[in-house]
Amino acid sequence: MSFNARFAAVGLTLTFSLAASAEPAAENRWSASLRLGPARMQDSITGFPNQDRPPYEFGYDGGIAWSLAGGFRFNPHVRVELEMTGRDHALATSTPAGSDADGQLAVRALMANAYWDFASHGAWQPYLGVGVGVAGIGLDGYRVNGAPLVDDRERATAFQAIAGVRYRIDEHWHLSADYRYFRTSDPLMNSVAGDVMETSIRSHAIMLGVTRAFGR
C-alpha cells in the first residue's frame, strides 16, 4: 500500500472513530467558520515519469490560503466539519531551465476534517485536527524562458494536518489561529507538447479564523 493510501486510511479511520465514539453532549452545536492567512508552497518537483529526462523544480511566490467551513460538535472534545479551501500562488522560478518563469498555481479542495479540542485554559483552547478530501489542481499558463510548458488541470487526493488554538469571545463566537500542512497525491498533467508530467503539491499556511456557533 502506498504512503498516500495509508495516510488516507489512517485519516478516515480517525475521523469516523472520533465521530462514532463521541458521547452525547448537552449542547450539540452547528457552526460556520471563515479563515484566511498567508501560505507558502514548497518547491515542487515536476518530472516526466515516461521519459528519461531531468525534472523541473518550480519555486513559488508567497500566496493566500482561504477556507469556508460548516461544522458540528459532538461533545466538548470532538467536532467535525466540511471545508472548502483554496490556495493561489504565482510561479516564480524554474530549475534547471533558468529563473524566467511565469504562471499561476491554483488549488481548490473539499475536505472532511475531524478535530480534538483539549481542555480549556480560561478562554483559550488548543486543538489538533486531520483532514481528508479531494483537490482540483490547476497549472495555469506555465511558461519557462518564454516558451509555453503546461496549462492543465487535474484532481488528486488531499490530506491535511492541523494544530491551533481557539479564543472564546462568548457563547457563540470564537477566534482561531492555526497552522495547516496541506498536501496531495502527485497528479499527472499533460504538457503543451503532450508529455505526461507528474508534480507535487505541499503547502504550509497560518490561518486566522472566526467561527459562529449555532444552537443552545
Domain ranges of the chain: 3-214
Q: Look at residue 73 and give its three-state secondary structure.
A: strand
- Tell me the average pLDDT across 97-113: 90
CA dist 72 and 86 (Å) reads 21
Q: Residue 40's pLDDT is what?
A: 97
pLDDT tens by residue, 202-212: 999 999 999 99
Tell me what the mean pLDDT of segment 168-183 comes to.
95
**Residue-level pLDDT at 15:** 46
Mean of the per-residue pLDDT values of the chain: 87
pTM reported for the whole predicted model: 0.84
What is the phi/psi pair of residue 17, to 5°? -65, -45
pLDDT of residue 215: 74
Mean pLDDT of 20-27: 45
Residues 6 or more apart whose Cβ sits within 8 Å of residue 195: 48, 50, 51
Whether the per-residue pLDDT at 96 is higher than 90: the answer is no
Within 8 A by CB and 6+ apart from 5, the residues are: none
Query: 24: pLDDT confidence band, cut at 50, 70 and 90?
Result: very low
In CATH terms, the fold of domain 3-214 is Porin (2.40.160)
Q: Which three cell numbers stand for residue 205?
A: 499556511
- Of the listed ranges 109-118, 142-151, 201-210, the one predicted with least confidence: 142-151
Report pLDDT for 112. Answer: 98
The answer to whether residues 190 and 139 touch, using CB atoms and an 8 Å cutoff, is no
CA distance 156 to 158: 6
Could you list the beta-strand ranges (E) of the chain. 29-41, 44-46, 56-60, 63-73, 78-95, 101-117, 124-144, 147-168, 173-184, 188-190, 196-198, 202-214
